[in-house]
Structure 1
Amino acid sequence: MTLVDLTRELVSIPSHEDETAAGDFLEAWLRRETDADVTRDEIGNVIARKGTGDEALALVGHHDVVEPADSQVRGAEAGVGIGDEYAVEERDGRLYGRGTADMKGALAAALVAFRDVDPAGELVFASFVGEEVGGVGARHAIDDGFAPKYAIVGEGSTNYSGPDVTDVAVAHKGRRGSTITARGTAAHASEADAGENAIYRATAAVDRVRDLEPPLVDVAGETLEGRLTVTEIEGGSAMNVVPARCAFTVDERTVPGDRAALERVADIEGVEWTVDQNLPPMRCGDEAFAERVLEAANSAQDSDPQLVTKPHATDAGWLSQAGTECVIYGPSEPGEAHTDDESVSIDVLERCLETYRRVAKRWPAR
């Protein structure tokens, strides 16, 4: 089975609501094609290991995807067979279908590299569930003891520094989602002074959010800039009632290191701050590892790859937070993932496979 065939097979398996079938395929393929120690945990993560050593290298991906468009489901237009299989099409040197870019193409390349290489140290293949819903699988695996020293995460790093180049991302932003709730005392609007207006308290909190300075960090010659954005607001019960409650949400893009001092909103009387989601940022702290992957990436392509940063959170954030040194290297291009015409370049898939092989074959450095 070629890399393209393996990618097509993986992409065709629905995995936006239930990753079981995709996990079944991965587990069966690894048991058939390798002599690795293959495990499947209780939530569906598939992990395979071979070789021994103190500094394990993991090739990491995920087999869940976001919900496909009707055009990406075979038989959807005819109203039959919906959900049985995703549509996959090859044209103009690309594979089209839900999950081709994010990230079953990279997963297929990691599978083949894992199969083909006989490393001197320990090599790990890991595919997690639930990446698209907050890193459920990665967090579970980490809690269960998954702790490789190094990892290459196959999320997108292609066309960041220029066209037709697959770069090595050494840092990315995280995301913290918060709800700010202001509480007051209801009263009839004709006697507004008898109440305490929660909307007024909420607007004071919005002003405080706008006044906060998000942190900056310089990585690989780039500046990663945090950002705070008020995204939703809700409050009040009637036009003639002083509102007793008003809440708004904040989307915060975080950077490695400091966080914006969002907790200061809770200093306002009647205002509470709740963190709803906190996807950690990532930064590789091992320059030698990043350079080793960059050297392999350079050897696998005619272009001149660079060390770059990404704006999006990935499972690399959870691994990095747990102590794994991570880089990101994969075929997806900016703006390609989650789209109705999602696709991946076949040439870039082959490039990623060759890079994974080169790093793994020389692991650990001799």
Structure 2
Amino acid sequence: MNPVAVSIEDRVLALITEDELVSLTEALVAAGGENPGGTEEATVAVLEAFCLGAGLETLAEEAAPGRPNLTAVLRGGDRPGLLFLGHSDVVPAGEGWDRPPFEPYVRDGRLFGRGATDMKGGLAAVAVALKALKAAGVDLPGDITLACTVDEEDLGIGIRAYTRAHLGERFSGCVVAEPTDLGTVVGCRGDSYIDVTVHGRSAHSGRPADGLNAIDAAARIIALVREDHERLQQDQDALLGAGSWNVGLIEGGTGTSMVAGECRLSLDRRLMPDDNAARILESLRERIAEAGLERDGFAVSAAVTMEMPGFRTPEDHPLVADAVAALSDCGVASGIGGWTAACDGGFIARDFGVPTIVMGPGGLNDQAHQVNESVSIAELVAAARAYALLCLRHSSPA
């Protein structure tokens, strides 16, 4: 590393302060954004105000009424630059918190509040890193972009709107700032929701043979799903595991003394990177037909209501090496791994065709979506510093 580069890096890192990271994360947590609910607007306003104050260019675009995606750009040269991806919504806080979930506080080196880990801390770390790069007057080969989308925790309308609006733009890679305990995640499973409705025929429960019990038929479909789940588990990928099924919701019938005339299932089907939800749906329809439900008089409809693609980036890709090196230089020994969870990064990898990783502060399994959610302040600082180094070091072909 030449002395000039060291001087630039030191100058940028000196501009990243713990106080600013904590202050911005607290403001983002306090803005709420529970989803379902469509309440991300206040969070976006906080983030946009910070980015404008940092000298970044911003663009708010409604993905749905009152639900704006935000893009903040640090301008550079003409080469493709990095895209950082995050989301403004959080899951509902729920009950059981020690303190009000949207009144953030610091204790024992951690910042507490709903969204602290997933993912207000990651958003703050990216924004503070870009502010430091701007303030240092760094000459970057390409733009650095932060895209903050709505609705990640539910149906993903934000990332779909973002890819439609920005598809012609060029990026060298994407870093999703979701919580990974600062590990470098190179692959994620995707996810899809499949809703199934079974129509039978209602009748008095005293004469069940007069009807067609839709709940019984739905149970037969659940057995098909369970059988396919077990089949999938026989083909485990070393990094991502296997595709999987889960019956998340079931609703049917109108009364205990009546044969159920209708039953609805909501199925979660986790996707491997090369899976396609439409093909999976068609396969499910074929198995239902083979089971003879329609021959028995039932009408069955099924549809994909949500799809989030998976992705995989080669472990030896330069973006991965640069991320691991940046974290190492910030005192973090980052392992390379995969996620069985899903994230918006799959859309970027698929639609833009760029290498994608997930790397951010906070714990997915022990903090995200949990009561008394918190993030380590030391991880916030390390993440912001690593993001800044990654922007300085990562380059791509012109």
- Taking the aligned partners of 2:213 and 2:42, their CA distance within structure 1 comes to 53
Match of 1:82 in 2: none
CA distance in 2, matches of 1:317, 1:302: 26
Q: What residue number does 2:250 align with? A: 233
- 1:284-309 Cα distance to aligned partner (Å, 9 max, x none): 25823222222222222243x22111
1:315 to 337, 340, 344: 344
Q: Name 1:123's counterpart in structure 2.
A: 144
Equivalent residue letter for 2:159: A
Partner residue, 1:262: 284
Residue in structure 1 matching 2:57, options 37, 40, 51: 37
> After alignment, is 45-54 or 180-189 more displaced?
180-189
1:138 to 159, 162, 169: 159
Larger deviation, residues 147-156 vs 187-196: 187-196
CA distance in 2, matches of 1:156, 1:256: 20
Aligned to 1:222, the other structure's residue is in SS state coil
* Percent identity of paired positions between Structure 1 and Structure 2: 28
Rounded to whole Å, the distance in 1 between the matches of 2:246 and 2:305 is 15
SS at match of 1:292: helix
Structure 2: gaps of 5 or more residues: 1-18
Aligned CA RMSD, in angstroms, stands at 2.7
1:176-325 correspondence runs (5 A): 176-188=192-204, 192-212=208-228, 213-214=231-232, 216=235, 218=237, 221-238=238-255, 241-258=258-275, 260=280, 261-267=283-289, 268-269=293-294, 270-284=299-313, 287-303=317-333, 305-323=334-352, 324-325=354-355
- What are the superposed Cα offsets for residues 142-172 of structure 1, whole Å, 9 maximum, x if unpaired? 11125553111110111xxxxxxx2101112
AA of the residue aligned to 1:343: S
Q: 1:241 to 1:168 in 2, by over 3 A?
A: same
The residue number in structure 2 matching 1:63 is: 88
Matches within 5 A, 1:104-183: 104-117=120-133, 118=138, 119-146=140-167, 147-149=169-171, 150-158=173-181, 166-183=182-199
Superposition deviation, residue 347 in structure 1:
0.9
| AA of the residue aligned to 1:176 | S
Deviation string 1:207-255 (CA, Å, 9 cap, x unpaired) is: 221221337563xx52422211223333334555544323323222222
Contact 1:265-1:271 within 8 A present in 2 as well: no
Provide closer, same or farther for how the CA distance between residues 3 and 195 of structure 1 changes in structure 2, counting only shifts above 3 A.
closer
Shift of the alpha carbon at 1:185? 3.4
**CA distance change for structure 1 residues 210 and 264 in 2, over 3 Å: closer, same or farther?**
farther
Give deviations 1:298-349, integer Å, cap 9, x for gaps.
222243x221111222121222231342110011212201222111101111
Aligned residues: 346
* Cα deviation, residue 128, structure 1: 1.7
- C-alpha distance in 2, partners of 1:153/1:32? 23
How far is 1:92 from its partner? 0.9
Unaligned stretches of 5+ in structure 1? 77-84, 159-165
Helix, strand or coil at the partner of 2:22? helix
> What is the Cα deviation at residue 95 of structure 1?
0.8
**1:353 aligned onto 2:384:** yes
User: Are the aligned partners of 2:322 and 2:394 in contact in 1 as well (CA < 8 Å)?
Assistant: no
Displacement of 1:275: 2.0
State which of 22, 28, 32 in structure 1 corresponds to 2:43. Answer: 22
The 1-side partners of 2:197 and 2:96 are apart by 41
- Secondary structure of 1:157's counterpart equals coil
Amino acid at match of 1:276: T
Matches within 5 A, 1:68-83: 68-69=93-94
- Return the offset for 1:21: 2.5
TM-score normalised to structure 1 length: 0.84
d(CA) in 1 for partners of 2:255 and 2:51?
A: 60
* Residues 72 and 86 in structure 1, CA contact (< 8 A), matched pair in contact too: no
1:22 Cα deviation from its structure 2 partner: 2.3
Cα distance, 1:112–1:205 mapped onto 2, change above 3 Å: same
